């Protein structure tokens, strides 16, 4: 299990934050199996190519697969940090982590579909597939794009709301965990960061639901996720200054 060597080397440790989860729990092993299955779902639809042309067509999906894989690794790492930092294995922690795994599994295909479509558009590939009638038809109509972004946005928000609830649960038990003022500050920072990311997802859904871009509300809702970079950068800078002041 990859968690064990990472935990032994204190990977992810932050100055002033003690790791309380030394042992790898059985639930973490189960989580690794579930996320491994999720990775399998990303590629299970790719059959062994029968011709070189089919091989090239499959290779074009590599970038989209890479993006989805990176997102899964990020979710895994966030869960790893939670268990290492707090070592909580109570009913609430297991329930919330189970919800997180459920959301990840449920949204694997929408995630793959969205990023495959995005990569195809950016590379100029025609978004057409052969339909049941044998005729080429578009992968998605422009009028359907808002609904796609709403589906994706709900999953995106769910992931970060669950993460916020996990850290909120740890913060509420700060007395039992004997969190230092610095550790409590980091926990509040994690809650804020998760909620800010969820707010970006909520903005995307609002754009698509209320058609705040007319017929282009779907693409606009998608590109609104570009706000994640600036939002997290500003939040990280502000909280970083406050953390240094607290350390001092």
pLDDT digits (tens, 9 = 90+) for 102-159: 999 999 988 988 888 888 777 776 666 655 666 767 777 878 889 999 999 999 999 9
Tokens of 231: 């939002």
In a domain, 188, yes or no: yes
In a domain, 52, yes or no: yes
The residue range of the domain holding 36 is 3-123+136-247
What is the number of structural domains in the chain? 1
Predicted pLDDT of residue 24: 87
> Considering only CA atoms, which of 197, 193, 201 is closest in space to residue 238?
193
Model pLDDT, residue 101: 96
Q: Is residue 21 part of a domain?
A: yes
pLDDT value of position 44: 59
Share of the chain residues as helix, strand and coil, in percent rounded to the nearest 5: 75, 0, 25
Tokens of 65: 């697969």
Report if residue 128 sits inside a domain.
Answer: no
Residue 130 lies in a domain: no
Q: Is 128 helix (H, G, I), strand (E, B) or coil?
A: strand
In a domain, 228, yes or no: yes
Q: What residues does 138 pair with on adjacent strands?
A: 128
* Helices 181-209 + 228-247 axis angle, to 10: 170
Give the H or E element holding residue 138.
strand 136-138
pLDDT of residue 72: 93
| Single pTM value for the model | 0.90
Residues of the chain with pLDDT under 50: none
Asked if 127 and 117 touch (Cβ cutoff 8 Å), the reply is: yes
């Amino acid at each position: 299990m990859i968690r064990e060597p990472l935990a032994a080397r204190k990977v992810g440790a932050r100055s002033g934050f003690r790791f309380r989860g030394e042992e790898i729990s059985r639930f973490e092993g189960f989580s690794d199996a579930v996320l491994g299955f999720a990775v399998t779902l990303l590629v299970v639809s790719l059959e062994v190519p029968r011709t070189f042309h089919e091989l090239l067509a499959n290779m074009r999906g590599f970038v989209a697969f890479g993006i989805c894989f990176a997102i899964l690794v990020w979710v895994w790492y966030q869960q790893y940090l939670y268990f290492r930092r707090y070592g909580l294995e109570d009913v609430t922690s297991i329930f919330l982590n189970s919800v997180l795994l459920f959301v990840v599994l449920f949204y694997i295909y929408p995630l793959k579909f969205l990023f495959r479509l995005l990569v195809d558009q950016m590379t100029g590939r025609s978004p057409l597939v052969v339909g049941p009638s044998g005729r080429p038809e578009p992968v998605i109509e422009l009028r359907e794009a808002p609904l796609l972004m709403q589906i994706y946005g709900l999953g995106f928000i769910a992931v970060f709301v669950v993460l916020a609830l996990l850290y909120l649960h740890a913060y509420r038990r700060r007395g039992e965990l004997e969190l230092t003022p610095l550790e409590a500050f980091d926990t509040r920072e994690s809650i804020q960061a998760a909620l800010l990311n969820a707010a970006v997802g909520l903005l995307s859904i609002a754009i698509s639901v209320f058609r705040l871009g007319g017929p282009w509300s779907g693409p606009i809702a998608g590109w609104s996720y570009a706000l994640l970079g600036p939002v997290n950068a500003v939040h990280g800078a502000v909280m970083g200054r406050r953390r240094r002041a607290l350390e001092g």
